[in-house]
């Protein structure tokens, strides 16, 4: 069951406003009674350095954590950091979220290139080993297309056999050609390439923190209801 406002207030008073804003978007989407495992995937390619330095990634992680408090009951979100490969797998929680992302990021050292498929594989493996029976909502943040586009596309199609929805979020100029691949990934045909539409994409802009919490949550949840409606009859 979802964590109550009282529990969130006690464990993480700084997240209360985010928790309330997420609730509004969940109700608008008809998801207020849905249970889901929430994952966060964060880009650590070299071009992401300004977003870590400014605190934008930390704030984004807190937004996702507050959303997860409605969808899951443990107050924790597994976090996969990636660049050329998987840089690290950790978690952010209600009782340990302050500066958590910056501390983890600093501990992983070198920032490499942008490649998705190893991070996607890590999420799938974690989900399968967890024994979860609820579907998963994966918030996948990046600032550009992957080095191996075929590997990312193939991984997404393979993962469509599982109840996992991938919500890609782009940090950067919405008009940047770096996001052209993600737009095409979002439009992969069903059922020719995958049994269900298991992915969405939206650009959060050059300054993701300027977007209101309400806007972000509406976008994060935009494709999830249709995905749930599709996977239930598909088993």
Q: pLDDT (tens digit, 9 = 90+) per residue, 95-107?
A: 999 999 999 999 9
Query: Structural domain tally of the chain?
Result: 1
Residue 235 clears pLDDT 70, i.e. is over it: no
Give the pLDDT score at 175. 86
For the segment 149-175, what is each residue's pLDDT rounded down to a tens digit? Answer: 999 999 999 999 999 999 999 999 988
Tokens of 131: 């024994």
Note the pLDDT tens digit of each residue in 24-36: 999 999 999 999 9
Give φ, ψ of 216 to 5 degrees.
Answer: -60, -50
Q: Answer whether 139's CB lies under 8 Å from 168's CB.
A: no
**222 CB-contact burial (10 Å; exposed 0-12 / middle 13-18 / buried 19+):** middle
pLDDT given for residue 233 in this prediction: 76
- Segment 47-73 shows an average pLDDT of 97
Confidence tier at 184 by pLDDT (50, 70, 90):
very high
Q: DSSP letter string over 196-231?
A: S--EEEEEEES-GGGS-HHHHHHHHTSSHHHHHHHH
* Cβ count within 10 A of residue 230: 15
4: DSSP letter: P
Distances (CA, A) of 203 to 70, 71, 167, 215: 24, 23, 11, 12
CATH label of the domain that carries residue 40:
3.40.50.410
Cα–Cα nearest to 205, from 196, 216, 195 = 216
**Where in the sequence is the domain holding 19, given as residue range(s)?**
5-234
How would you label 188-214 residue by residue, b for 16+ Cβ within 10 Å and e otherwise?
beeeeebebbbbbbbbbeeebbebebe
Percent pLDDT > 70 in the chain is: 99
- Residue 3: which residues within 8 A CB-CB, separation 6 or more? 69, 70, 73, 75, 94
More confident residue, 73 or 222: 222
Cα 109 to Cα 112: distance, rounded to the nearest angstrom: 10
User: How much is the mean pLDDT over the chain?
Assistant: 95
């Amino acid at each position: 069951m979802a964590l109550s406002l009282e529990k969130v207030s006690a464990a993480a008073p700084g997240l209360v406003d985010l928790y309330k804003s997420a609730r509004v978007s969940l109700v608008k989407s008809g998801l207020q009674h849905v249970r889901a495992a929430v994952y966060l995937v964060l880009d650590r390619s070299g071009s992401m350095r300004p977003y870590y330095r400014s605190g934008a990634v930390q704030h984004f992680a807190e937004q996702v954590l507050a959303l997860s408090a409605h969808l899951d009951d443990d107050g924790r979100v597994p976090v996969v950091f990636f660049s050329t490969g998987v840089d690290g797998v950790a978690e952010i929680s209600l009782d340990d979220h302050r500066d958590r992302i910056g501390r983890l990021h600093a501990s992983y050292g070198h920032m490499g290139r942008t490649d998705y498929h190893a991070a996607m594989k890590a999420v799938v493996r974690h989900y399968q080993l967890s024994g979860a029976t609820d579907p998963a909502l994966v918030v996948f943040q990046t600032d550009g297309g992957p080095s191996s586009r075929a590997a990312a596309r193939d991984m997404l199609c393979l993962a469509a056999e599982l109840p996992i929805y991938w919500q890609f979020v782009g940090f950067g100029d919405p008009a940047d050609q770096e996001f052209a691949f993600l737009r095409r990934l979002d439009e992969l045909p069903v059922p020719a390439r995958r049994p269900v539409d298991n992915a969405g994409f939206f650009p959060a802009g050059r300054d993701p923190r300027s977007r209101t919490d309400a806007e972000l949550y509406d976008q994060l949840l935009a494709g999830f209801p249709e995905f749930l409606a599709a996977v239930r009859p598909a088993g």
